[in-house]
Structure 1
Amino acid sequence: MKLHEHQAKGVFADTGIPTPSSQLASSVEEAVDAADAIGYPVAIKAQVHVGGRGKAGGIKLAENEDEARSAASDILGMDLKGLHVEDVLVEEAVDFTDEIYVGVTMDRGAGKPVVMVSARGGVDIEEVAAEDPDAIVREHVDPAFGLHPYQARRVAFEAGLGAVATDVARVLSTLYELWEDNDATEVEINPLMVTADEDVVAADAVMNVDDDALFRHPEIAEMESEAADDDLEQKANEYDFDYVRLDGNVGIIGNGAGLVMTTLDIVDYYGGAPANFLDIGGGAKAERVTNALDMVFSDENVESVVFNIFGGITRGDEVAAGINEALEQLDEIPKPVTVRLAGTNAEEGQEILNTDLVSVEETLEAAVQHAVENAQEADR
């Protein structure tokens, strides 16, 4: 689960990390009222889960009411890297002299948490890592003991932060506690701004939490529906799906992460482009299959759909019944659907499938090629 900036900042502020005064707004008038209340200058920031918002026009500074109105009008409702902006964060602008990056994540290669600090904040940390890896100071943490204060101080001083190193070390220690206590996969501040008075302020906030641990954090789980950027994310939350949106136009549904990943690779092999990753899981009943089709049909990028089901726990006849049930409810099939069934009760499933509504293929390769051809034909 990805928290929006304003949600993450609320969590950070509750632990004592300095954050600017801010208000969330969903209309131009609300944004102007918030800016007037906070005091100019303000930053008006799109609340969507994408990086590089500033470069894409999703963050603007306003020195007065007219500029605030104009900025809010420009940002609210805009399409920002494929996401519709419905809310903005109106925030006190920080007069800064420097920008720092601090973050905590899991280093899967080392099998340990890692804390990171860089004096080159304010830009994509991935770019820094690619261009100058030594500009990011890292420290692995033994999860049995947590981040020791001396470790936090060491990375801050090795990053060359000078007079603010101690304050940055405190922020880093707090971030690690947040990461550990909330089963987070990633927490970061980029940038952590340094003011002329050598104070540090979190001008941005990122916090991603393991979905499987949300039951332990009801206060964060309550933010889930609000954290969704669009209808697809809300549907994924409602249906309890792992749905990853991609850039292509071939919708993919499978039962099992490995099977779905294989399907993605084969779509690419045959010249297509996957539109999504959607795993309906083992033992999927008709209702779950119906929900999966509803999700994929709701993705405006999808031009055709391939269903790849291998029956182990999942029964092919149950899946076939779900496909029929979903499609028979529609006056018109929005996108062509190709189905490949194998494994438990696959033959029964193939007999059940309504071939007036779907195309049925014996092999995965044939099913993928058919789906790719359908998508290519729709693009012509």
Structure 2
Amino acid sequence: MKLHEYQAKDIFADAGIPIPDSQLAASVDEAVSAAEEIGYPVAIKAQVHVGGRGKAGGIKLASDADEAREYADDILGMDLKGYTVDQVLVEAGVDFTNELYVGVTMDRGEGKPVAMVSTEGGVNIEEVAEENPDAIAREHIDPAFGLHPYQARKAVYNAGVDRSVARGVSSILTTLYDLYEERDASDIEINPVMITSDGDVVAADAVMNIDDDALFRQPELAEMEDETYEDDLEQKAGEYGFDYVRLDGNVGIIGNGAGLVMTTLDLVDYYGGKPANFLDIGGGAKAERVTNALDMVFSDENVDAVVFNIFGGITRGDEVAKGINEALESFDEIPKKVVVRLAGTNAEEGMEILNTDLVEVEETLEDAVQRAVENAQEASQ
């Protein structure tokens, strides 16, 4: 679950992290009134769950009431990367001399949380990681002991942060990890941490994402969820009872079992394709569940081809095949090519049952994935 910037900043402030004065506004008049109360200059910032708001015109600095009214009018109601802006955060401008990045996330390769600090704040940290990975200092954390003070200091010094503000930045990093652990966060970051001419450190932005599976332990945070900004397909997945994650590729993936789906994702990448989603339909593959899964994948405009990877365990392969046939026959038109691979109980019988006028059938997972990747490449040309 993603928190809005203003929500994350409230949590940060309660934990002792310095933030600029700010007010939330849902109308132009409210924004101007907030700006007058805070004092100019102010930043007017769109509150949507997307990155790159500044480049997209979602953040503007107003120096007087006329600009505040103009910018609030421009931003409220605008379409920002597919989301309509219905709230802005009016925030005191910060006279800064430097910008840093500070964050904590999970390093899945190491199986540990990692604290990160960089002097290249204010820009997309993913680009920094790709183009200049040495610009990010990292410290892996043993969850049994937490982030030791010396680790926080080490990350700050290794990043090249000026010693005059190192203590303040270390304190922010330590607090972020405490929040990461206490609030069941999956990601938490400040980009940028602004350094003022007086040597103060201020959180000028705030990102905090919460592990959905831990929300039962965080009722206060669960109440903050804004379903308006939830992906339509993810909402639909919840209604269908699927485990679903939308990705940015064009090969739709459907499987029954998390491990099976992850293996399929890895193979799509290995054979030069890009996965469009993680979709686990769970145990069983009756016609209704298959139809719902295909409806979801077909609804994703980025998908150019689909691979169906099903292992028949308790559910027999012939039953799965009948479900796939019935599901595809329910569509007036099949908009994307579908490749099916069956394995497990009664897989051979299932392969014979599959209607090859509706699907392409491959015996091995590798062949199925390669076919799907080729189909996607052809469709996107």
TM range (shorter): 0.7 to 0.9
Q: Please list every run of 5 or more consecutive structure 1 residues that lacks an aligned counterpart in the other structure.
A: none
Could you say which residue in structure 2 is the equivalent of 1:8?
8
Following superposition of structure 1 onto structure 2, how do residues 91-102 of structure 1 map, counting pairs within 5 Å? 91-92=90-91, 93-102=93-102
Could you say which residue in structure 2 is the equivalent of 1:188?
189
Could you say which residue in structure 2 is the equivalent of 1:125?
125
Shift of the 124–336 alpha-carbon distance from structure 1 to 2, 3 Å rule, reads closer
Could you say which residue in structure 2 is the equivalent of 1:86?
85
Deviation of 1:190 after TM superposition, in Å, equals 1.3
Deviation of 1:172 after TM superposition, in Å, equals 1.9
Shift of the 104–69 alpha-carbon distance from structure 1 to 2, 3 Å rule, reads same
Could you say which residue in structure 1 is the equivalent of 2:212?
211
Following superposition of structure 1 onto structure 2, how do residues 137-148 of structure 1 map, counting pairs within 5 Å? 137-148=137-148
Deviation of 1:252 after TM superposition, in Å, equals 1.9
8 Å CA contact 2:58, 2:80 repeated in 1: no
Shift of the 240–188 alpha-carbon distance from structure 1 to 2, 3 Å rule, reads farther
Distance in 1 (CA, whole Å) between partners of 2:351 and 2:306 is 17
Counterpart secondary structure, 1:45: strand
Q: Which amino acid aligns with 1:341?
A: L
Following superposition of structure 1 onto structure 2, how do residues 272-291 of structure 1 map, counting pairs within 5 Å? 273-283=274-284, 286-291=287-292
Counterpart secondary structure, 2:179: helix
Distance in 1 (CA, whole Å) between partners of 2:378 and 2:111 is 46
Q: Please list every run of 5 or more consecutive structure 2 residues that lacks an aligned counterpart in the other structure.
A: none
Deviation of 1:202 after TM superposition, in Å, equals 1.1
Deviation of 1:105 after TM superposition, in Å, equals 2.8
TM-score by length of 2: 0.79
2:178 aligned with 1:177: yes
Counterpart secondary structure, 1:115: strand
Aligned residues: 377
Q: Which amino acid aligns with 1:119?
A: T
Q: Which amino acid aligns with 2:41?
A: P
Deviation of 1:177 after TM superposition, in Å, equals 0.9
Distance in 2 (CA, whole Å) between partners of 1:5 and 1:138 is 24
Deviation of 1:191 after TM superposition, in Å, equals 0.9
8 Å CA contact 2:273, 2:373 repeated in 1: yes
Shift of the 95–324 alpha-carbon distance from structure 1 to 2, 3 Å rule, reads farther
Q: Which amino acid aligns with 2:341?
A: R
Distance in 2 (CA, whole Å) between partners of 1:354 and 1:323 is 9
Counterpart secondary structure, 2:181: helix
Shift of the 314–212 alpha-carbon distance from structure 1 to 2, 3 Å rule, reads farther
C-alpha root-mean-square deviation of aligned residues, in Å?
3.7
Shift of the 368–160 alpha-carbon distance from structure 1 to 2, 3 Å rule, reads closer
Distance in 2 (CA, whole Å) between partners of 1:143 and 1:160 is 25
Q: Equivalent pairs: percent with the same residue?
A: 74
8 Å CA contact 2:83, 2:229 repeated in 1: no
Could you say which residue in structure 1 is the equivalent of 2:20?
20
Segment drifting more, 283-292 vs 305-314? 283-292
**1:249-296 CA deviation, whole Å, 9 max, x = no partner?**
332212234433444455567775543232323445555434322321
Distance in 1 (CA, whole Å) between partners of 2:310 and 2:143 is 39
Distance in 1 (CA, whole Å) between partners of 2:149 and 2:46 is 35
Could you say which residue in structure 2 is the equivalent of 1:43?
43
